[in-house]
Structure 1
């Protein structure tokens, strides 16, 4: 891009009319490279304007700012809001400079797994890039778009929503050609009036498609009729329902894998996912639908899916040094994802099934009932021991009844696990990010050692 492109995108006031080539756009001096434009973002706990001098000393070629920098040694553009400007620059780059296919993925659960699975499939036949980890917000989405290389054919963009309007905003920046909603669940529901409001929020990824866009919709989800009405462009459905365009049938679910048959038009293929959980089949079907839309065949898709492996924090299995089985699903938690994880836990070949549960946050008025529900569900599925940490998890323990223990902090729970985890135990760790149950996983793996 040229400096003039940045000015056009921002609609700001430039300090010079001189044009020059820029290498990239950065918002963080820790990874800024010489020749980058530095955008001084402002947030609740930081102000990028305090780092303008440092950015220039590191080689920034120009600055985008909302406060006039004193004695600035490089060109700058003054804008009203630097975060908005960052999004506009990313949209301009995506639309005018890069101009290839964008797949947008959102949903209450399964976004990151679906994104990683789709990347594994597409990258075997197409030059593909995707969102790093879960950088799926108003900063992460522009960052991913601006990082798309000129040789890249497909960009996979994960989009998260914590508040009303988030998806509409991100879709306006990324402008996906193909859109996927994995599922709707009561995640971040304290910020929404009800579950349907969350579904409508997610559905914005469909409503902004062009006439040539493709809406890939989960026909098994209760909000399928709503999304179908909201969708623009072509519609391709997936699911276990008989009428799905891309139909899956589960053949076998084991402790470590799931085999299913997928059928599309006159073709079918048996596929084995080497990750646990029936719920992963739904994610896989959305990936298959997208890959088919991009011209891949079912045999090609099968090769990609069967090579996919899960990542840390998402139902990753470890065998500890003492031969106990340890499942790390600690990235995040809500009632839907915890139930799915429990279903995986009870499939494992160990006599004792333990669930370590941290607080499930952002459930609003459903916080108490949601935790009670999980306690009852765990008991009904045959979980032997529920180890809760935090005030909300304590509610789940009370609902679980005999066999539950409640801890005041992660440290005391870690000490208990250190002493009581034995080879006949399979232990699942699950909790919201705010509960920091990932710290429990790290502590146990560091102390006891593990083999994936």
Structure 2
């Protein structure tokens, strides 16, 4: 291939430290109400995956939605040079994979800016106006249109009246100068941003508010992303074990604060690829947890132990913190000590496999 594939149809690339897959799936759910679309599979977002997608995009696809991952320098550039997007979304600039970028948020912002540099020069870009690190993105030479989303600052697509409701989130926003109410079947204020990006792109592409509302309502979240299980009448398990970075863990703790009932237990494991930010990132999560109404903190792995230290330093009772290095020991401890009227949040990087503990709990409860 001599140059990137360039399509006349909308080719949307989603980049960001968190929320890529959710944003992509929400947007796909909306566009699918009217169009046949091609979307990248799951979270398969490396340059090698993008190269495979190139041959799978057909003339009957009216739009293409791709997730462009970035765990190393140059990956977004390579993906853009395979399939050039004409619409770009940068969800946020956070600390995911920071260890691979010299431990620097500026390094991450600069590498994410490759989307802006290598997408269609006069294309359309969507940015998060509430994300302070997104201000580090290099937009100075971008010749296209920029739209913003937000919940706090003034934005082109701004959510207001954000509420936790049964089964998800509800919010209001203006489209075509009229206020509309939206519902997403997933918890968390951070997921409102993902919905706003999906709404913004769909609106730009001419979808009406009803199509957008219907599409968002039909969105189905992937497993292990704030998946809620109810064991009997009074035990709630929140499985958010697919991935983790400090902002994502804090967001998950917020969700537990809102939807949790009774005793609240946070089971937090190591966040991988944090590099020199390893100690500070884990400690910050512990400090944040200490400010929440959490009753017990069970940590997993070496990084998890640092979360525990951070929580204790911030005033969390030491006797309510326990560290584990074995999935079996953690699962057995929870099985022995779990009581009715309890909510348990599980959160760690994918490679920590905390989902094994979730599975053990679910299987045990099924048989009892």
The alpha-carbon distance between structure 1 residues 372 and 225, as it changes in their structure 2 partners (threshold 3 A), is closer
1:365 matched to 2:289? The reply is: no
Q: Do the aligned residues in 2 keep the contact of 1:322 with 1:422 (CA within 8 Å)?
A: no
- 1:25-424 matches, within 5 Å, as 91=4, 94-95=5-6, 100-193=9-102, 194-227=104-137, 228-229=139-140, 231-254=142-165, 256-321=167-232, 323-401=234-312, 402=317, 403-424=320-341
**In the TM superposition, what whole-angstrom CA distance separates every residue of 1:124-144 from its partner, at most 9, and x where no partner exists?**
111112111110002222223
The alpha-carbon distance between structure 1 residues 312 and 230, as it changes in their structure 2 partners (threshold 3 A), is farther
1:102 CA drift (Å): 1.1
Q: Give unmatched runs, 5+ long, in structure 1.
A: 1-8, 12-87
What is the root-mean-square deviation in Å for CA atoms of aligned residues?
Answer: 2.0
Range that drifts further, 256-265 or 380-389: 256-265
1:349 CA drift (Å): 4.1
Alpha-carbon distance between aligned partners in 1 of 2:72 and 2:209, rounded to the nearest angstrom = 37
The alpha-carbon distance between structure 1 residues 415 and 170, as it changes in their structure 2 partners (threshold 3 A), is same
Structure label with greater radius of gyration? 1
The alpha-carbon distance between structure 1 residues 258 and 163, as it changes in their structure 2 partners (threshold 3 A), is same
Range that drifts further, 330-339 or 149-158: 149-158
Detail structure 1 runs of 4+ shifted over 3 Å in the superposition.
223-228
Give 1:434's aligned residue: 351
Please report the TM-score for the alignment, with normalisation by the length of structure 1: 0.75
Please report the TM-score for the alignment, with normalisation by the length of structure 2: 0.92
SS at match of 1:156: strand
1:242 CA drift (Å): 4.6
The alpha-carbon distance between structure 1 residues 251 and 305, as it changes in their structure 2 partners (threshold 3 A), is same
Alpha-carbon distance between aligned partners in 1 of 2:165 and 2:197, rounded to the nearest angstrom = 21
Q: Give unmatched runs, 5+ long, in structure 2.
A: none
The alpha-carbon distance between structure 1 residues 377 and 256, as it changes in their structure 2 partners (threshold 3 A), is farther
The alpha-carbon distance between structure 1 residues 310 and 423, as it changes in their structure 2 partners (threshold 3 A), is farther
1:383 CA drift (Å): 1.1
1:211 CA drift (Å): 4.2
SS at match of 1:238: strand
Greater relative CO, 1 or 2 (CA 8 Å, sep 6+) = 2
Q: How many residues align?
A: 359
Alpha-carbon distance between aligned partners in 2 of 1:335 and 1:230, rounded to the nearest angstrom = 31
Alpha-carbon distance between aligned partners in 1 of 2:145 and 2:311, rounded to the nearest angstrom = 46
1:322 CA drift (Å): 6.6
1:99 CA drift (Å): 5.3
Alpha-carbon distance between aligned partners in 1 of 2:141 and 2:129, rounded to the nearest angstrom = 14
1:318 CA drift (Å): 0.7
Alpha-carbon distance between aligned partners in 1 of 2:133 and 2:281, rounded to the nearest angstrom = 20
Q: Do the aligned residues in 2 keep the contact of 1:255 with 1:349 (CA within 8 Å)?
A: no
1:153 CA drift (Å): 0.9
SS at match of 2:187: coil
Q: Do the aligned residues in 2 keep the contact of 1:330 with 1:441 (CA within 8 Å)?
A: no
SS at match of 2:88: strand
1:377 CA drift (Å): 1.1
